[in-house]
């Protein structure tokens, strides 16, 4: 009973730590991309972002000479049109996991009560 509760608690803590790490990575990436956009605007450049999967294509066009350059970023954490959908999916998974933990805690408590009898 107690081992099951400890295992469930450790698993829930680990899952939350992993989610927190990804959330922090997303926050840092978002702030960095904002700074890059500000730098582009301050220097008179237009930036277009596109991509899919784990690749982001960045095209920078300088207004002064009309020339452009591009860069493909691989496996970067970035915000796109599907970010809200992915966030909702993660929230749903978190709710499901939380429900699992609550059930495991209830089972562990019940098992502990049976052991005490």
Percent above pLDDT 70 for the chain? 90
Residue 56: burial class (beta carbons within 10 Å; 0-12, 13-18, 19+): buried
| Residue 54 to residue 74: CA distance in whole angstroms | 6
Question: Taking residues 85-112, what's their average pLDDT?
Answer: 80
| Residue 23 to residue 31: CA distance in whole angstroms | 12
Note down the domain range covering 36: 2-116
Does pLDDT of 8 surpass 70? yes
Query: How does residue 76 score in pLDDT terms, banded at 50, 70 and 90?
Result: low
Cα radius of gyration rounded to whole Å, the chain: 23
Does pLDDT of 67 surpass 90? yes
- What per-residue confidence (pLDDT) applies to 82? 60
Helix (H, G, I), strand (E, B) or coil at 64: coil
Q: Which of 49, 50, 48, 46 minimizes the C-alpha distance to 66?
A: 46
- What per-residue confidence (pLDDT) applies to 104? 86
Does pLDDT of 84 surpass 70? no
Number of domains in the chain: 1
């Amino acid at each position: 009973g107690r081992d099951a509760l400890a295992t469930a608690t450790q698993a829930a803590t680990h899952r939350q730590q992993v989610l927190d790490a990804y959330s922090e990575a997303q926050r840092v990436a978002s702030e960095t991309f904002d700074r890059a956009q500000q730098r582009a605007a301050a220097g008179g450049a237009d930036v277009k972002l596109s991509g899919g999967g784990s690749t982001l294509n960045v095209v920078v066009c300088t207004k002064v000479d009309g020339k452009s350059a591009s860069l493909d970023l691989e496996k970067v954490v970035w915000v796109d049109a599907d970010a809200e959908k992915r966030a909702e999916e993660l929230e749903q998974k978190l709710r499901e996991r939380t429900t699992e933990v609550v059930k495991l805690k209830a089972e562990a408590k019940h098992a502990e009560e049976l052991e005490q009898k």
